Amino acid sequence: MILCFDIGNTDIYGGVCEGRELVAEFRKANHFHPSADEFGVFVRQILSSKGVKLESLKAVAVASVVPDCIGMVREAARSYLGIDPLILKAGVKTGLKIRTNNPSEVGADRIANAIAAVELYPAMDRIVVDMGTATTFCAINQKDEYLGGVICAGMGLSMKALAQNTAKLPYVDLVRPGNCLGKTTVESIQNGLYFSHLGLIREVVGRLKEEAFEGREPVVIGTGGHAGFFREESLLSAYVPDLVLRGLCRAVELNSTL
């Protein structure tokens, strides 16, 4: 079994893969970065609650967009699991050809998503739309070349910006509304967040299709904490909520010396 961690700005998303199957998953808020001991205790407790035996773990993989957390997770894995984790970063085998101006600056979560997209949809053009704190778009062509992408504020971050920078607009729950026309302030904000993001996805996917794939039709994969709101929209070809964990598991295989 492989234990994987996707360390984001808002949450730490974790899971255990056995072969190609995700057998356990969990989330932990990452607003206040835990210490190695706190995180190690949490991981052992959550694995126990999921019925995962520590001795069954063969590897640990980490993708982090929070540099300060990498050392913490590495220390926790070594001290509490007895495993030196694979940190997804420059120099790690990915099976991708990174065609950006500065490959080392591409986020580890985006690389993990791309690794999984290549495995799930071989010999195809792909766009990964990851909707978390940020909403990111990644273009990977049929040759498994990572061509670049787009980074935007996510739905939650947009809502937070409205609430924190205005006098009367409140925090709201994120929802998938039935109509665009809001009848209350809360409805208007909720609808604005959803439909502006829907328009964002449509526009960016359309432009990437022309710029990256010369008009060819790519598979569009939705993932991330907010992607579920859009899973029924025709813009998405597939909804794969655990895409980043699948990519980390594959990264372990690509870098295995066994």
Q: Measured between alpha carbons, how far is residue 112 from residues 76, 78, 141, 241 in Å?
A: 21, 22, 15, 13
Q: What percent of the chain has pLDDT over 90?
A: 91
Task: Tell me whether residue 251 is annotated as binding.
Answer: no
Q: Identical fold at 2-87 and 97-247?
A: yes
Q: What percent of the chain has pLDDT over 70?
A: 99
Task: Tell me whether residue 223 is annotated as binding.
Answer: no
pLDDT at 29 > cutoff 90: no
Task: Tell me whether residue 114 is annotated as binding.
Answer: no
Q: Which of 242, 208, 238, 251 is nearest to 96 (CA)?
A: 251
Task: Tell me whether residue 7 is annotated as binding.
Answer: yes
Of 68, 84, 109, 173, the active-site residue reads: 109
pLDDT at 257 > cutoff 80: no
Q: Across residues 213-219, what is the average pLDDT?
A: 95
What is the structure's pLDDT at 20?
A: 83
Task: Tell me whether residue 68 is annotated as binding.
Answer: no
Q: How far apart are the first and last CA of the chain?
A: 14
Q: Is 109 a residue of the active site?
A: yes
pLDDT at 258 > cutoff 60: no
Which sign, positive or negative, has the C-alpha torsion 153, 157, 159, 162? Answer: negative
97-247 placed in CATH 3.30.420.40: yes
Structural domain spans, the chain? 2-87, 97-247
Average pLDDT, the chain: 95
What is the structure's pLDDT at 152?
A: 97
pLDDT at 89 > cutoff 80: yes
Tens-digit pLDDT profile for residues 222-238: 999 999 999 989 999 99
Q: Identify the H or E element spanning 9.
A: none
Q: Across residues 207-213, what is the average pLDDT?
A: 97
pLDDT at 37 > cutoff 70: yes
> Options 1.20.58.1610, 3.40.50.2000, 3.30.420.40, 2.30.110.10; which CATH number does 2-87 get?
3.30.420.40
